[in-house]
Amino acid sequence: MNIQISDASAHSVTTRGLFVGLYENEKPSECGLGRLDATLGNRIEAAISAGDFSARFNRVLELYGGHQDGPRHIVVVGLGERERSTTESVRRAFGTLGKRARGASCNDVTVLPPLTGFDETAQRNNTIAALEGTALAMYRYVRRTHNVDRFPILESLNVVAGEDINDDVFHQAVEYASATINGVNFARDLVCMPAADLYPETYAQIALGMGNETISVEVLDHEKLVELKMRAILAVGQGSTHPPCVIHLSYEPKSVNDKTKTFALVGKGVTFDSGGLDIKTAAGMRDMKADMGGSATVMGVFRALNQVRPNCRVHGFVAAVENMTDGNAYHPGDIITAFNGRTIEIDNTDAEGRLALADVLAYAVKSVEPDAIVDLATLTGACVIALGHWCTGVMSNNDELVELLQAASDASGERIWRLPLWSDYKQQIKSEIADMKNTGGRPAGTITAGKFLEAFVDKTPWAHMDIAGTATEGQFSYTPHKELGTGVAVRLLLDALLRWE
Ligand code: BES
Ligand code: MN
Ligand code: ZN
């Protein structure tokens, strides 16, 4: 997606749609819409004073311009009370507009972010939020074979300032929004891809195409995984005709010195989770093409890094593997030795994500010695039960890292909630014949999975994000309601990386 900064004023843009926001109990002129409303014959103000429209949060007023050279379709969204306005409320309000335009198959839109009456920081945040809200809401997953006329996609978005704003601040905000939008929508595309199209080899092909001046890509293929003794991810992949692989992306900042920090991101990339021999029910299996959502988020972050350019090193790892049933599949009761030498008793072949992550976390810690490591995974159904689709579960061995993620969460609007990792929980994954087993029973299923992963990162500051509830079935105005993938945590992590430097 390309975002064009237009020199036109709001009243003279010529796109089909013009999206603007209005605060409650304010005149259009107080929200930078005075000139536009005058061009419209003061119809916005008339609607308000007649009591036909109030700018309460998420209320929408649609007007037809009726001018030859001006916007044809003006959509005003209520932003609620100005004092209660946040970056997230602006994102959600413009998401509401984006969803309407998507429903109307309109792909020619200009956005006027709420800038009037705000300081520079809020102007920057509101610009990003208005663009993200609009473009993320208008997302569609379109395979090349689809009829593009029936499913028009938003290829470019226009933005006007309509108000005094520092040129550099505005340009940087627009550039940042275009990076996050492309990153998030790329992650969504990967999640939406059918398992017949996206499996470890094709995943590696896509990743290899992402190299550029700041990003390099290496693929550890099946042979290499055997050589490295990554027997946990190999066990998970045994039943599939598609051998597993590990994708390693590296981002190098422009200038480095001995203080430059290294950050590692690891994503669960189970391209399909049938459950293995502990096979899932039909309903439970239906959307398991999305079980690579954690790795899609890592890929989305890398898609944006070349534009965002934080001053830290970033390594991304994708644990790409398919969990299938077959004569060669791994069995319940098997005992395997992971990359770091720990032995694992397989209690349930459907707890495959933590096995793949165990090897890749240990490999990441050993190979790049990161200052901090974050993994993302659609790991447990229990997390969906605990937190629903509104919030990502976080577990960590390091308070400072959680604080950093929380700050990024507050800034991005992508919610997280921490769960404890008290050592008592370890009892649930104790095995009589191996160092541990791969399941801990029904109680605290999210935490025991986190406890399992903790054993593979040594003392490295680490956080685990269980996105089982948030990677799919988006519930926000700017997340897809028809498509599966949400691209969750791409924006959060980009924000975190900028705080980290
Ligand atoms: N991929 C699933 C978790 C999942 C479930 C993600 C629903 C999104 C929606 C994971 O591999 C899994 O099957 N977990 C099991 C673990 C159990 C066997 C200990 C689960 O949650 O039931
Ligand atoms: Mn599973
Ligand atoms: Zn899974």
Which of 376, 380, 387 to mutate to test ligand 1, by most ligand atoms within 8 A of the CB atom? 380
> Which ligand is nearest to the Cα of residue 380, counting in written order?
1
Whether residue 145 is predicted with pLDDT greater than 60 in this model: the reply is no
Decide if 461 contacts 398 (C-beta within 8 A): yes
291 lines ligand 1 (CB under 6 A): yes
Q: Are residues 244 and 287 in the same domain?
A: yes
Residue 173 covered by a domain: no
- The pLDDT assigned to 71 comes to 84
Residue 151: inside a domain, yes or no? yes
Tens digits of residue pLDDT in 311-320: 999 999 999 9
Decide if 131 is inside a domain: yes
Residue whose token pair is 């300081």? 119
Q: Whose CA is nearest to atom 5 of ligand 1?
A: 381
Same domain, 225 and 78: no
- Residue 183 inside a domain? The answer is no
**Does the Cβ of 352 fall within 6 Å of ligand 1?**
yes
CB atoms near residue 209 (< 10 Å): 9
153 and 251 together in one domain: no
Q: State which of 127, 146, 164 marks the end of a domain.
A: 164
Distance in angstroms (rounded) separating the CA atoms of residues 475 and 478: 8
Angle between helices 490-500 and 167-192 (to 10 degrees): 130
Q: Are residues 293 and 145 in the same domain?
A: no
Res 70 pLDDT > 80: no
Rounded to the nearest angstrom, the distance between the alpha carbon of 48 and the centre of ligand 3 is 51
Q: pLDDT tier at 11 (50, 70, 90 boundaries)?
A: confident
Burial class (CB in 10 A: 0-12, 13-18, 19+), 308: middle
Chain-centroid distance of CA 192 in Å reads 13
CATH number, domain with residue 15? 3.40.220.10
**Sign of CA pseudo-dihedral 22, 28, 33, 39:** positive
Q: Within a domain: residue 182? A: no
Angle between helices 200-208 and 293-308 (to 10 degrees): 0
Looking up tokens 């980290």, which residue turns up?
500
Question: Which residues participate in catalysis according to the annotation?
Answer: 280, 354
Ligand 1 neighbour 297 (Cβ under 6 A) = no
Task: Please state, in angstroms and rounded to a whole number, the distance separating the CA atoms of residues 205 and 94.
Answer: 35
Give the mutation target among 285, 379, 473 for probing the ligand 1 site: most ligand atoms within 8 A of CB.
Answer: 379
**CA of 257 relative to ligand 3 center, distance in Å:** 39
Give the 3-state secondary structure of 119-145.
Answer: CHHHHHHHHHHHHHHHHHHCCCCCCCC
* 198 shares its domain with 130: no
The label of the residue with tokens 């905000």 reads 173
Please give the number of the atom of ligand 1 that sits closest to the Cα of 448: 19
194/160 same-domain check = no
**Three-state secondary structure readout of 44-74:** HHHHHHCCCCCCCCCCEEEEECCCCCCCCEE
Within a domain: residue 489?
A: yes
Q: Do 127 and 257 reside in the same domain of the chain?
A: no
DSSP character string of 158-217: EE---S---HHHHHHHHHHHHHHHHHHHHHHHHHHS-TTT-SHHHHHHHHHTT--SSEEE
Range of the domain at 127: 4-164
My answer on whether 8 and 86 are in the same domain is yes
pLDDT in tens, 148-205: 666 677 878 999 997 778 999 999 999 999 999 999 999 999 999 999 999 999 999 9
Instruction: Identify the CA nearest to 257 among candidates 192, 211, 175, 312.
Output: 312
Residue predicted with more confidence, 60 or 151? 60
Residue 181, in any domain of the structure: no
Report how far ligand 1's centroid is from the alpha carbon of 371 (Å). Answer: 29
Q: What's the pLDDT tens digit per position in 248-275? A: 999 999 999 999 999 999 999 999 999 9
Closest ligand 1 atom, residue 353 Cα? 11
Q: Within a domain: residue 248? A: yes
- Same domain, residue pair 131 and 209: no
Our mutation pick for probing the ligand 1 site, out of 350, 384, 451, 472, counting the most ligand atoms within 8 A of Cβ, is: 350
Residues 325 and 389 in one domain: yes
The pTM assigned to this predicted structure is 0.97
**Mean of per-residue pLDDT scores for the chain:** 95
In contact, 33 and 135? CB cutoff 8 Å: no
Residues 224, 137 share a domain: no
Which residue shows structure tokens 């926000």? 476
147 lies in the same domain as 199: no
Q: Tell me: the pLDDT tens digits for 329-378?
A: 999 999 999 999 999 999 999 999 999 999 999 999 999 999 999 999 99
Average pLDDT of the residues in 288-293: 98
Task: State yes or no: pLDDT of 66 exceeds 80.
Answer: no
Number of domains in the chain: 2
408-268-450 Cα angle (round to 5): 70
Whichever domain contains 428, its CATH number is 3.40.630.10
